[in-house]
């Protein structure tokens, strides 16, 4: 992105008509007509959970000379304050379009977006400025200003907001400590690694003490180790500062590791929505299944080639079973119980179990002695005898 475009985005994002409040926290959002619940809460001195987002029957159609492109339809959902909310979907599914309606970088064609109970479509210019101070954003390619130092990049939104220099000094120092860049104040972005650049992006997004942080593929340009470090930082920010984090990613492992809830978008509509362990443990929609395929422990090629569909008539052989765990009812693989129930010693051939939000999920491919083979193991997937949520006979090996 060209520098002028970057500064435009930043200006749109951070422009403010006045200084932040004395505690540095921006005042609650209010519509021009304004008797929003959040504002009432704050006025009453009640503890308010700021950072909720509600989409109500949202639709977006892009209109260009080439015609109309429907990008979002029938989007109705709530994002809880202080949660980490993941958005996944195939390329072109509408993820960025949806995310960008939260700070009105994109205007919906129909429906509403409510932030802390306020329909942001009703905000006037000043309200919009406030909104953009409360909703920080980080980008895949960081969008830093290359001619400015790390300090200046992070200071920019505060400067635009007219914060006095001494306060800027203090706040930026605090932020660079928070993201682990205390020794990089005077460094220019070109001398930073990708992970360090994203840390600057995060510090800059947090400068105005937002209650919501939008992340559009914030780790897609980073190597796996740096991705882990940035995820840990985002989780830390979410927990310590109570900021709602809404993130788009193509990396399912990112969602698995840090998100509370996940939305699967397909062709602009909600394909699935729910807690991550529920959606990942039992993906119903073809789009979700396709997205999650890389995480599944499928049958490895060498085993697939050796598998026979029928048990051999003579000689020793083994039956190969796939045991599935969906995360429900606290059920986990328990090998002594599995062996006892199957009436055979168990050989683990492939697979594994992940823990998502405390729920064990995955597939195990095991082999048991042919003498114990049965065609149907469904009895062991129900009631007190349950050893797995699903048991499939994959075939036989000699």
Ligand X SMILES: Nc1ncnc2c1ncn2[C@@H]1O[C@H](COP(=O)(O)OP(=O)(O)OP(=O)(O)O)[C@@H](O)[C@H]1O
**Residue 292 C-beta: closest distance to ligand X, Å:** 16
Under rule CB under 6 A, residue 97 binds ligand X: yes
CA nearest neighbour of 373 among 347, 351, 344, 349:
344
Under rule CB under 6 A, residue 94 binds ligand X: yes
**Residue 299 C-beta: closest distance to ligand X, Å:** 29
**Residue 106 C-beta: closest distance to Mg ion, Å:** 11
Between 79 and 349, name the residue whose CB sits nearer to ligand X.
79
Instruction: State which of positions 105-134 bind ligand X (CB under 6 A).
Output: none
Between 139 and 277, name the residue whose CB sits nearer to Mg ion.
139
Token code pair at residue 313: 């008539």
**Residue 88 C-beta: closest distance to ligand X, Å:** 9
Between 13 and 96, name the residue whose CB sits nearer to Mg ion.
96
**Residue 314 C-beta: closest distance to Mg ion, Å:** 58
Between 53 and 364, name the residue whose CB sits nearer to Mg ion.
53
Could you tell me the end-to-end alpha-carbon distance of the chain, in angstroms, rounded to an integer?
60
State CA 316 to chain mean position distance: 49
What is the spatial distance between Cα 390 and Cα 381, in angstroms, rounded to a whole number? 6
| Site mask for ligand X (CB under 6 A), range 56-85, x = bound | ------x-x----x-x--------------
State the number of binding residues for ligand X (CB under 6 A).
Answer: 12
CA nearest neighbour of 250 among 237, 272, 265:
265
Under rule CB under 6 A, residue 375 binds ligand X: no
Is residue 116 classed exposed, middle or buried when 0-12, 13-18 and 19+ CB atoms within 10 A define those classes? buried
Between 216 and 318, name the residue whose CB sits nearer to ligand X.
216
Choices 92-100, 150-158, 198-206, 229-237; region in contact with ligand X by CB under 6 A: 92-100
**Residue 291 C-beta: closest distance to ligand X, Å:** 11
**Residue 96 C-beta: closest distance to Mg ion, Å:** 3
The footprint of Mg ion (CB under 5 A) covers 96
- The helix or strand, by DSSP H or E, that contains position 320, with its residue range, turns out to be strand 318-325
Taking each helix axis from N to C end, the angle separating 165-178 and 150-160, rounded to the nearest 10 degrees, works out to: 130
Between 232 and 286, name the residue whose CB sits nearer to ligand X.
286
CA nearest neighbour of 254 among 279, 290, 286, 218:
218
Between 48 and 96, name the residue whose CB sits nearer to Mg ion.
96
**Residue 97 C-beta: closest distance to ligand X, Å:** 3
Rounded-to-10 torsion of CA 274, 277, 280, 284? -50
Buried b (16+ CB within 10 A) or exposed e, 230-262: bbebbeebbeebebbbbbbbebbebbbbbbbbb
Among 36, 38, 53, 93, binds ligand X (CB under 6 A): 93
Which of ligand X, Mg ion, none interacts with 64 (beta carbon under 5 to 8 A by kind)? ligand X
Locus of tokens 């475009």: 5
Under rule CB under 6 A, residue 92 binds ligand X: yes
Is residue 374 classed exposed, middle or buried when 0-12, 13-18 and 19+ CB atoms within 10 A define those classes? middle
Residue pair 56/76 in contact (Cβ under 8 Å)? The answer is yes
Residue 369's CB: how many other CB atoms inside 10 A?
A: 16
**Residue 87 C-beta: closest distance to Mg ion, Å:** 9
Choices 91-99, 119-127, 173-181, 186-194; region in contact with ligand X by CB under 6 A: 91-99
Between 60 and 389, name the residue whose CB sits nearer to ligand X.
60
List the beta bridge partners of residue 352: 363
Which of Mg ion, ligand X, none interacts with 94 (beta carbon under 5 to 8 A by kind)? ligand X
Locus of tokens 């830093």: 144
Between 96 and 322, name the residue whose CB sits nearer to Mg ion.
96
Using CB under 6 A, list all residues that contact ligand X: 62, 64, 69, 71, 89, 91-97
């Amino acid at each position: 992105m060209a520098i002028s475009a970057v500064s435009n985005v930043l200006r749109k994002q951070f422009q403010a008509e006045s200084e932040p409040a004395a505690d540095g926290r921006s005042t609650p959002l209010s519509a021009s007509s304004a008797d929003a619940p959040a504002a009432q809460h704050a006025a009453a001195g009640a503890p308010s959970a700021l950072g909720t987002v509600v989409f109500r029957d949202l639709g977006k159609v892009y209109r260009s000379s080439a015609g109309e492109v429907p990008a979002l339809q029938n989007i109705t959902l709530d994002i809880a304050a202080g949660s980490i909310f993941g958005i996944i979907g195939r390329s072109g599914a509408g993820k960025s379009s949806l995310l960008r309606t939260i700070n009105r970088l994109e205007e919906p064609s129909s429906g509403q977006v409510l932030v802390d109970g306020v329909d942001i479509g009703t905000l006037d210019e000043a309200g919009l400025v406030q909104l953009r101070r409360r909703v920080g954003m980080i980008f895949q390619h960081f969008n830093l200003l290359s001619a400015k130092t790390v300090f200046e990049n992070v200071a920019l939104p505060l400067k635009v907001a007219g914060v006095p220099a001494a306060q800027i000094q203090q706040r930026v120092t605090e932020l660079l400590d928070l993201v682990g860049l205390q020794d990089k104040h005077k460094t220019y972005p070109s001398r930073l690694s990708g992970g360090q650049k994203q840390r600057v992006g995060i510090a800059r997004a947090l400068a105005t003490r937002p209650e919501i942080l939008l992340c559009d593929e914030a780790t897609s340009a980073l190597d796996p180790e740096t991705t882990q470090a940035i995820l840990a930082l985002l989780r830390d920010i979410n927990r310590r500062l109570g900021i709602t984090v809404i993130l788009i990613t193509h990396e399912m492992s990112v969602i698995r590791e840090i998100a509370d809830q996940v939305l699967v978008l397909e062709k602009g509509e909600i394909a699935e929505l729910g807690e991550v362990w529920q959606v990942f443990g039992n993906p119903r929609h073809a789009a979700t299944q396709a997205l999650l395929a890389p995480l599944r422990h499928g049958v490895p090629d060498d085993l697939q080639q050796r598998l026979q569909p029928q048990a051999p008539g003579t000689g020793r052989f083994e039956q190969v079973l796939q045991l599935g765990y969906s995360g429900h009812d606290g059920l986990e693989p328990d090998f002594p119980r599995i062996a006892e129930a199957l009436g055979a010693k168990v050989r683990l051939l492939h697979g594994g179990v992940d823990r998502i939000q405390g729920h064990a999920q995955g597939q195990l491919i095991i082999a048991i002695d042919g003498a114990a083979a049965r065609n149907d193991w469904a009895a062991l997937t129900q009631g007190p005898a349950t050893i797995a949520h699903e048991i499939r006979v994959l075939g036989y090996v000699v």
